[in-house]
Amino acid sequence: MDKKEEQKTDNLMENTTFSNQMNIPAGFSTPCEADEKEDLGFIDMLNLQEYTIPSMFDFLLTTPLIPSPASTYPESSEVVNAPATPNSSSISSSSTEAVPNDNQWTETVEKEEQNQEKINKQLEPKKKNQKRQRKARFAFITKSEVDHLDDGYKWRKYGQKPVKNSPFPRNYYRCTSKACVVKKRFERSSDDPSIVVTTYEGTHTHPCPIMHRGILPETTTTTLFEGGGGASSFIIPRVLHYPQQPYFHNYLTSFSNTNNSSFPPLLQETPFWPSASSLARDHGLLQDMLPFPMIKEPKEE
DNA sequence: CGAGTTTGACCCGCGC
DNA sequence: GCGCGGGTCAAACTCG
């Protein structure tokens, strides 16, 4: 490794939080470490099993989903400024126990807003040079021998590139559905080949072709969100039931409606969030997601 | 034969 | 301007 590479690695390490379970794959870091630790309280990688997110995830995972019209979601990760309606009536009333406490959400959202402001200020100078608009991204880590996680959508490979300092290539996939521009890529961690980092980009313009089953496997999941200048990580704590999927989108939208808030809003940008259906399908798939908060930091945005 | 994969070439942005 | 790396294209190939 030459000096340049060493320096890059050093820089990366400065922004990196390690868990007791894995190292961060090359090229990934945690831009919002403070947010993760302070705001949500459930990001403690050393004691993951002791944390749950009863309000949010009970709701998410017990609330049915519907494929949302693409127009509902911003194509650009910057478009997350819809009016705030955290108490929106769109939230399903069928899971009242799981609905987040109003105060909790208000508090969370406020903190996120504050953090987002800081982030925005930090990123401001860089925005000048921003030319290419990046679509909403959504990344997560899985521990699996299976490279290509089956998320219910049909994908077509369109490229493969070697990853610097890694023996494993990065694979590029596109949704096979016509007029759907969603892409995803995945690569194995050079540090731990059993770890696969998958990144989704874009918004599906069609429903998931494979409909869900009812049960989510028991798992602890960390989902990584990229876009909107912030990152949040979530842990799906346990097996939950998905009967249908009508309200997921509304619920997410309700979170996203705070100005510049990066938490839950980022969810809104991920209509391709691995649906209950896909999560619930087979072993070696998304249920293998690892508990680790990580996000590929958008350097230029 | 159509759908999906492979893989080298190409494009583009960025840093030096 | 040049080199590098990430991302995409597209022809050739494979598979069912």
Measured at the CA of A172, the angle between CA A224 and CA A236, to 5 degrees, comes to 25
Q: For A289, which DSSP code? A: B
Residue type, A198: T
Q: Is the CB of A158 under 7 A from strand C?
A: yes
The spacing between the Cα labelled CA in A148 and the C1' in B4, in angstroms, equals: 14
The answer to whether A179 touches A161, Cβ cutoff 8 Å, is no
For residue A95, what are its two tokens?
């899971």
Question: In the prediction, which pLDDT does A179 show?
Answer: 75
pTM, two decimals, is: 0.49
The spacing between the Cα labelled CA in A158 and the C1' in B4, in angstroms, equals: 10
Distance between CA atoms of residues A100 and A218, nearest Å: 21
Q: Is the CB of A241 under 7 A from strand B?
A: no
Which residue's CA is nearest to the C1' of nucleotide B3?
A: A156
Q: Is the CB of A154 under 7 A from strand B?
A: yes
Query: Which nucleotides on strand C sit less than 7 A from a protein beta carbon?
Result: 5-10
Q: Is the CB of A3 under 7 A from strand B?
A: no
The spacing between the Cα labelled CA in A132 and the C1' in B13, in angstroms, equals: 9
Q: What is the pLDDT of residues A268-282, one digit of tens each?
A: 333 344 444 444 444
The spacing between the Cα labelled CA in A77 and the C1' in B1, in angstroms, equals: 41
Q: Which stretch of DSSP H or E encloses residue A197?
A: strand A195-201
Q: Which stretch of DSSP H or E encloses residue A169?
A: strand A169-175
Which residue's CA is nearest to the C1' of nucleotide B5?
A: A157
Q: Is the CB of A214 under 7 A from strand B?
A: no
Distance between CA atoms of residues A70 and A55, nearest Å: 27
Q: How far is CA A172 from CA A147, A155, A177, A190, in A?
A: 12, 9, 16, 18
Question: How many residues would you count in chain A?
Answer: 301
Q: What is the pLDDT of residues A106-129, one digit of tens each?
A: 444 444 444 444 434 333 333 333
**Residues in Cβ contact with A221 at an 8 Å cutoff, skipping those fewer than 6 apart:** A140, A234, A235, A236, A286, A287, A289, A290, A291
Nearest nucleotide to the CA of A132, by C1', is B13
Helices (H), chain A: 3-14, 33-34, 54-62, 102-127, 248-256, 265-268, 276-279
**Residues in Cβ contact with A273 at an 8 Å cutoff, skipping those fewer than 6 apart:** A138, A223, A248, A267
For residue A197, what are its two tokens?
């980092």
Residue-level pLDDT, tens digit, chain A, 301 residues: 333 433 333 333 333 333 333 333 333 333 333 333 333 323 333 333 333 333 333 333 333 333 333 333 333 333 333 333 333 333 333 333 333 344 444 444 444 444 444 434 333 333 333 344 456 677 777 777 766 666 778 889 999 988 888 888 899 998 888 778 888 888 888 777 788 888 888 777 777 765 544 333 333 344 444 443 333 333 332 322 332 332 333 333 333 333 333 333 333 333 344 444 444 444 444 445 554 444 444 333 3
The answer to whether A186 touches A193, Cβ cutoff 8 Å, is no
Ramachandran quadrant class, A43 (left: phi over 0; alpha: psi -120 to 50; beta: rest): beta
Question: Interhelix angle for A248-256 vs A54-62, to 10°?
Answer: 140
The answer to whether A274 touches A147, Cβ cutoff 8 Å, is no
Residue A215 β-bridge partners: A241
